[in-house]
Structure 1
Amino acid sequence: MDWEWLRDFGKGMIKPLLALAVVIMAMVLSYLQKLGLEGEMIYAIFRSFLQLSIIGFVLQFIFNQHTSIWIIVAYFFMVSVAGYTAGQRAKHVPRGKYVAGASILTGTAVTMALLVVLNVFPFTPRYIIPVAGMMIGNAMTVTGVTMKRLRDDIKIQINLVETALALGATPRQATMQQVKRSLVIALSPVLDNAKTVGLISLPGAMTGLIMGGASPLEAIQLQIIVMNMLIGATTVSSIMSTYLSWPSFFTKAYQLQPKVFVAE
């Protein structure tokens, strides 16, 4: 077995270890300011090092395989973790983890399928897994915010919603304004990022390509694709989450579920 890549990995870790100097600086500042974050910083750095090292070896294994099954396995694993995390953010939404997982799966799968069909990306692990990771991460954040905001807005305006229901509105009609508001708030950061990309900071994909030796023109081509796919995936996922979550806010008699809006 060729272990040359493992030796290269060990040599490549010298610079990341040297970069710990800036973390030590942050810890010293935390200590001097009596913030008490030193332990959390150590834990965060150790965890990130461990997680990234593991995923690096896993990706190295997957990239060396000649089957698409590992793409699907990695994709569903990322969706599962993202659904759980987004569900934790919206913990008062009934079956929030399943709603988030289904929404993220739908939004990212539809977007990825469209990109593959249009031959924007080849269906290979080296392309699909990193691209899917970016989409799933953003969809996770947006979906969690959408679900939490929708539930909180309905709770704040519960009298208006109940009045609309009493006047004969359907649950969807009674909560239309809350749905729109939650979607706008959740999607605004993604859209703002697209508006200012390249002006305030260089995004990760573009920066990685430039540091890897690609020309800036090649880098911006990929970054434009990334921004487009993020807007598509997050929009589909967030809208899907409202359709899947709001029915659980109501009874079969079109009344609000008290238990959903009592807990804090």
Structure 2
Amino acid sequence: MSLWALAMTLAFVAAAMALSIWQRLGLEKDMVVAAVRATVQLLAIGYVLKFVFHVDHAALTAAMVLLMSVVAADNASRRGQGLAGRFWRVWVAVMATEIATQGFLLAARVIPPEPAYVIPISGMIIGNAMVASALFLNRLRGEAQARRDEMTVLLSLGATPRQASRAVVKAAVKASMIPTIDSTKTMGLVQLPGMMTGQIIAGADPIKAVRYQLLIVFALIASAAITTMVLGALTYGRLFNQHQQPVV
């Protein structure tokens, strides 16, 4: 794609801004900021990845994965207002997911241990884990507030905080996994996923592209499950104070 062709796609942003002005939504500034940030960030990461791929050193690859996990944890933890220590809990859950899924892919030799494979796949796994974490924290707070009296009664009857919050955590886990499961159900019918589409546009055989996409799909299902369950185990205790009383 030429720079001129890329510049022409700014028409989409202009059209969205025109619709915002027409409907008086007040989103024009946010759209400009989003477009500029996306451009700068993608160009910057493009040059960084070019350097990392060229050097091909495990330390640089690990640093990239660590940076992605920190940014993901910081973004997702903002959904857990009121829960102390949420950043580190989200980061541990995200890294546990990354290590489990990416570690399996490398150990089973599904993908080679090269930056060109590890970093993009890690980005998809960590990104999905970030979304699942944000959904989990948001739903956890809502469920805890809605079931505060229920948890109080259970505690008064002798239940432990883990037992009292089991229904709350279970509901949050299920809600955070639904988007991943639903998108998987309609894949190939409603949408052609990004990785598959990119490979096809680049000239890859569609069947080979499908195989790589299925790899990602299966990894994302696991990542959503691992992230939310680990985060649930690490977070449920923050719903109570030192006297085992609900605080959310």
Pair in the same fold by TM > 0.5: yes
Q: In structure 2, what is the equivalent of residue 249 of structure 1?
A: 239
Structure 1 vs Structure 2 CA RMSD: 1.3
Residue 71 of structure 1: how far off its partner (Å) = 0.8
Task: Measure how far apart 1:252 and its partner are.
Answer: 4.0
**Residue 92 (structure 1) aligns with:** 82
Query: Are positions 1:165 and 2:130 aligned together?
Result: no
What is residue 8 of structure 1 aligned with on the other side? none
Q: TM-score, normalised by structure 2?
A: 0.96
Letter of the structure 2 residue corresponding to residue 92 of structure 1 = G
Amino acid in the other structure paired with 1:29:
L
The match for 2:38 among 44, 48, 52 is 48
Q: Deviation string for 1:13-63 (max 9, x for gaps)?
A: 332112112222222222222222222211111111000000000001100
Partner of 2:211: 221
Aligned to 1:106: 96
**2: CA distance, partners of 1:24 / 1:249:** 45
| 5+ residue gaps, structure 2 | none
Q: Is the 8 A contact 1:171 1:250 kept in 2?
A: yes
Partners of 1:89 and 1:152 in 2: how far apart? 11
Aligned residue identity for 1:39? K
Relative distance call for 1:91 and 1:13 in structure 2 (3 A) is farther
Matched, 1:125 2:135: no
Alpha-carbon distance in structure 1 between the residues aligned to 2:234 and 2:119? 26
Deviations 1:167-216 (A, max 9, x none): 11111111111111111110011011111101101010111011110121
1:194 equivalent among 155, 173, 184: 184
Structure 1 residue ranges, 4+ long, deviating more than 6 angstroms after superposition? none
Listed one character per residue, the Cα deviations across residues 233-253 of structure 1 (whole Å, up to 9, x for unaligned) are 111111011111111222344
- The normalised TM-score by structure 1 is 0.90
Residues 250 and 30 (structure 1), Cα distance of their counterparts in 2 relative to 1, 3 Å cut = closer
1:14 to 4, 7, 10: 4
Contact residue 144 and residue 239 of structure 2 kept, 8 A: no
Structure 1 residue 148 displacement after superposition: 2.3
* 183-192 or 17-26, which deviates more: 17-26
Between the aligned partners of 2:27 and 2:212, the Cα distance in structure 1 is: 37
Asked whether the 8 Å contact 1:93–1:148 carries over to 2, the reply is no
Distance 2:36 2:126 in 1: 24
Partners of 1:112 and 1:241 in 2: CA distance = 19
Corresponding residue for 1:27? 17
Contact 1:62 1:125 in 2 (8 A): yes
Task: Say whether the 8 Å CA contact 1:30–1:38 is kept in structure 2.
Answer: yes
Greater CA deviation, 162-171 or 21-30? 21-30
What is the DSSP-based 3-state SS (H/G/I as helix, E as strand, rest coil) of the residue aligned with 1:213? Answer: coil
* Residue in structure 1 matching 2:28, options 22, 38, 47: 38
Aligned sequence identity (%) = 32
Gaps of 5+ in 1: 1-10
Of 215, 230, 234, 1:240 maps to 230
CA contact (8 A) 1:103 1:240 kept: yes
- What is the Cα deviation at residue 123 of structure 1? 1.1
Q: How many residues align?
A: 248
SS in 2 for 1:42: helix
Distance (whole Å) between structure 1 residues aligned to residue 73 and residue 104 of structure 2: 22
Q: Does 1:185 align with 2:166?
A: no
Aligned to 2:60: 70
